[in-house]
Amino acid sequence: MSKPGRNDLCPCGSGKKYKQCCQQRKAPATSGGPDAAALQAALEHHRAGRLPQAQAIYQQILQAEPDHPDALHYLGAIASGEGRHRDAADLIGKAVRIRPSRAMHYNLGNALKALGELDGAAESYREALALKPDYAEAHVNLGNTLQAQGKLEEAIGHYRSALLSRPDLADAHVNLGNALRAQDRLEEAAESYRRALALRPDHAETHFHLGLVSRALDNLDEAVACYRKALALKPDYAEAYNNLGIALRVQGKPDEAIEQYHKALALKPDYAEAFSNLGSALKNQGHLDEAIEYYRRALALKPDFVDAYSNLLFSMQFSSNYSLAELFAEHLRFAAQYEAPLKPLRKAHRNSPDPQRRLKVGYVSADFYRHAAAFFIEPVLANHDKSRVEVYCYYNNTRRDELTERIAGYADHWVPCRGLSDDQLAERIRSDGIDILVDLSGHTAGNRMLMFARKPAPLQVTYLGYPGTSGLSAMDYRITDRYADPEENEAYYSEKLIRLPDSLCCYRPTGDMPEVAPLPALQNGYITFGSLNNFNKVSDQCIELWSALLRAVPTSRLLMLTVPEGTAREQLIGKFAGLGISAERLELHGKFPSREFHQMFRRVDIALDPFPVTGGTTTCETLWMGVPVIVLVGQRYISRVGYSFLSAAGLRDFAAHTHEDYIKVATRMGGNIPLLAEIHDGLRARMAASPLCGEAAFTRNLENAYREMWAKWCNAAT
């Protein structure tokens, strides 16, 4: 150990800086006696960083006087500095029992904390604070210990106490920010990080933490700037490269994001999170095989990485390379790995088995904001019969917008839960007495699959958010309809399928949807086909079929949205060129904000649904804008959702079951402009009058399904 610097903590354990302690005084108070001179000599060596000499003298003192508290304490301090924390705890613990001081209690706390003995560490810090209530460092370390125990509110109180006496203590500001961030108090956390940076602007980790908060607050430009500043200060900061990649991906810069992930992996080849994020970036570019490979590499490095496994499962749903049987088997492997160990922890349910009583229904989602899933669940929450259903919404996110506020208003109980562990959330749901718990995420981002695996409610249902089985035995039912899931699909679900009678779900158009414009072809003199879904749904088979359609209608053009700039767009143009479609016939755009996105629909005559992954929300929005959608019906749920929507809207004529039929439907429609204009002008009214938009009737059907499930459970329970 080298000699301490003036601003380092003093090795004597006082908690003060060296320049404020032993550097300016000969020695701390000792017990006097014949060993005083020896102790003074040992401390001189200790302060100078000559630890072997100091250690030898401390041991000589203890040979003569085994209970010498100062020698025990300082010998323990050396052991702690060398990482021998058990020796340190034993030595300092003995000193404390002989003649306690605040420094001894503080250093004992540090040793116990390093050993993971958090209760003992907290008690030692409290003893130090009893002797010196304004001991800032003890407040900070007690706060750190409490934070490690999940006692965030207590931790925050101690960080604030430290800052009352030492407002210049940068670490206290940082750790306060960390605790506030863990509570999702993001604005307060950002302010704490900024105060720390005002005191210590060259601290890379604090810039990184501020970047995390900024990204969570959707301040992406600030997040990117924070990560870049962290990297300027610490070029080998793999975590900063990884999170910079995340922010750039959300900004719609996939090529730059991928570059950052590769930099992270060059520094840290076993960085599972970077492999998973790289997979997600490639998935968004439509490179599904590569994405799946990177998710598997992440899992090989970190087998308990449940989010990577969910990402793998979701990506496999998008790929046409896997059969229903293969997909089902992979979901069951997920359950075998993650659900099976949790089954012994399940508790009996004490819900009253009364089939007629008011039901407590809980909805769990990370998407109660302007998100596709929220658009479909809002009509349900707005129309629930509160005499039949008491609604709980468990929100696993921090994002809030006007849709969040409306959904919170529909709920009888609004429970933000992102900061709760799976055990804590399961216990909260159990204590709330939920009868039917509804998963709205499946294996998508922000899911709580492992909480559902704990089976906190007697009936658990998956609905809406995911295009396949959860794989969990704890999930009792899956809500669907006969168009999305024909009978032959039942073998590929771990859940029992409940098919709603009129519609899979209910669509409520957003308030910013523009009026239907005249058919563009009337003015253009040619047909504009449109691909309006997320680009990652556009498969190579899709491009081949669309190219055949464009060749069949040689004057037509294709408008595509959400196509990333850079490599993905260049490759797309190259694929079309190889199939005889020149770049002049393509109009490619990236992502638009919602209002501008909907305006682009007014430039499309006929929308082309992708496959094997069909559209969802976008299909409904497209129909609402008067644009017919040509759907290719497949076997899997993910290939049949569009068909379900068309069926509910009474528009099955827009569906095709073969590639040849797809082209025939599109060319027949595009070849009759007057008929197309008539369809276009009447489509919104037709859709509004259909079951797809019948909010009250749909919600009654859903409530009836809940009641049917509940009656069966009550019958089995009695």
Contact 261, 278 (CB under 8 A): yes
The percent of residues above 90 in pLDDT, for the chain, comes to: 90
pLDDT score of 252: 86
* Token pair belonging to 461: 């249902």
Residue 90 and residue 80 in contact, taking contact as beta carbons nearer than 8 Å: no
- Considering the chain, what is the average pLDDT of its residues? 93
Structural domain includes residue 105: yes
User: What does the block give as tokens for 380?
Assistant: 């349900």
Greater model confidence, 9 or 14: 9
Mapping DSSP onto H, E and C, the string for 329-380 reads HHHHHHHHHHHHHHHHHCCCCCCCCCCCCCEEEEEEECCCCCCHHHHHHHHH
- The SS3 of residue 421 is coil
Q: What is the largest CA-CA distance in the chain?
A: 111
* Percent of the chain clearing pLDDT 70 (strictly above): 95
Per-residue pLDDT band at 105 (split at 50, 70, 90): very high
CB 207 within 8 A of CB 223: no
Assess if residue 205 is contained within a domain.
no
Judgement on whether residues 354 and 419 belong to the same structural domain of the protein: yes
Report if residue 222 sits inside a domain: no
Q: Are residues 467 and 611 in the same domain?
A: no
Residues 167-177: what's their mean pLDDT? Answer: 97
Q: Which two tokens stand for residue 217?
A: 């607050």
User: Residue 274: inside a domain, yes or no?
Assistant: no
d(CA 221, CA 239): 18
Residue 132, classed as helix, strand or coil, is: coil
Dihedral over alpha carbons 642, 646, 648, 649 (to 10 degrees): 140
- Judge if 525 and 406 occupy the same domain: no
pLDDT at 12: 52
Give the burial string for 333-358 (b: 16+ CB within 10 Å, else e): ebbeebbeebeeeeeebebebeeeee
Which is it for strands 557-560 and 528-531: parallel, antiparallel or unpaired?
parallel
* Cβ 417 vs Cβ 395: under 8 Å: yes
Q: Which helix (H) or strand (E) holds 311?
A: helix 306-318
Between residues 372 and 462, the one the model is more confident about: 462
The yes-or-no verdict on residue 432 having pLDDT over 90 is yes
Q: Is residue 596 part of a domain?
A: yes
Of 77, 101, 132, which residue constitutes the final position of a domain? 132
Q: What CATH number corresponds to the domain at position 571?
A: 3.40.50.2000
pLDDT over 80 at 31, yes or no: no
What is the pLDDT at residue 21?
58
Contact status, residue 551 vs residue 582, Cβ threshold 8 Å: no
Taking Cα atoms as reference points, which of 384, 383, 385, 377 lies closest to residue 403?
Answer: 377
Cα 300 to Cα 9: distance, rounded to the nearest angstrom: 42
Structure tokens at 595: 């209002």
pTM: 0.87
Q: What's the Cα-to-Cα distance from 227 to each of 176, 209, 423, 602, 656, rounded to whole Å?
A: 20, 9, 33, 40, 48
559 in a structural domain:
yes
- The CA-atom distances, in angstroms, between 354 and each of 361, 363, 395, 460, 572 are 15, 21, 28, 17, 58
Q: Quick count: other Cβ atoms within 10 Å of Cβ 148?
A: 14
Q: What's the Cα-to-Cα distance from 81 to each of 39, 196, 472, 620, rounded to whole Å?
A: 19, 26, 48, 64
- Verify that 558 and 670 share a domain, yes or no: yes
pLDDT, position 27: 39
Query: 483 and 554 in one domain?
Result: no
Give the H or E element holding residue 299.
helix 288-301
Closest of 250, 247, 255, 216 to residue 229, by C-alpha: 247
Q: Where are the alpha helices (DSSP H) in 514-588?
A: 520-524, 540-552, 567-578
CA 554/CA 315 separation, integer angstroms: 35
Question: What pLDDT, on the 0 to 100 scale, is given for residue 704?
Answer: 98
Residue 2 has pLDDT above 60, yes or no: no
- Classify residue 707: in a domain, yes or no: no
Mean pLDDT to the nearest integer, 579-590: 96
531 phi, psi to nearest 5 deg: -110, 110
CATH code: domain of residue 425: 3.40.50.11380
Task: State residue 6's pLDDT score.
Answer: 63
168-196 as b/e, with b when 16 or more CB fall inside 10 Å? ebbbbbbbbbbbbbbeebbebbbbbbebb
Whether the pLDDT of residue 642 is over 50: the answer is yes
Q: Check whether residue 485 and residue 557 sit in a common domain.
A: no
Whether 480 and 546 share a structural domain: no
Calculate the CA 529 to chain-centre distance.
35
- Tens digit of each residue's pLDDT (9 = 90 or more) over 384-407: 999 999 999 999 998 999 999 999
- Residue 619 and residue 62: Cα distance in Å, rounded? 81
pLDDT at 25: 40
Q: Which residue has the higher pLDDT, 41 or 16?
A: 41
3-state SS, residue 80 = helix
Q: Are 280 and 249 in contact (CB under 8 A)?
A: yes
Is the pLDDT reported for residue 718 higher than 70?
A: yes
Residue 94 maps to which CATH number?
Answer: 1.25.40.10
Do 455 and 525 reside in the same domain of the chain?
Answer: no
| pLDDT tens digits for range 217-250 | 999 999 999 999 999 999 999 999 999 999 999 9
How many independent structural domains does the chain possess?
Answer: 3
- Please indicate, yes or no, whether residues 560 and 476 belong to a single structural domain of this protein: no
Dump the DSSP string for 137-149. HHHHHHHHHHHHT
Q: What local confidence, expressed as pLDDT, does residue 643 receive?
A: 96
Both 531 and 575 in one domain: the answer is yes
Residues 542 and 608 in one domain: yes
pLDDT at 415: 97
Asked if the structure places residue 268 within a domain, the reply is: no
Burial of 87: CB neighbours in 10 Å, binned 0-12, 13-18, 19+: middle
pLDDT tens by residue, 283-334: 988 899 999 999 999 999 999 999 999 999 999 999 989 999 999 999 999 9
Residues 629 and 489 in one domain: no
Q: Domain of residue 470: give its range.
A: 343-499
Question: For 610-631, how does the pLDDT look when each residue is reduced to its tens digit (9 = 90+)?
Answer: 999 999 999 999 999 999 999 9
pLDDT at residue 30 tops 50: no
pLDDT at 7: 66
Of residues 150, 188, 196, the one with CA closest to residue 171 = 196
Distances in whole angstroms, Cα of residue 700 to Cα of each of 59, 286, 379, 531, 613: 81, 39, 11, 34, 29
Would you say how long the chain is, in residues?
Answer: 718
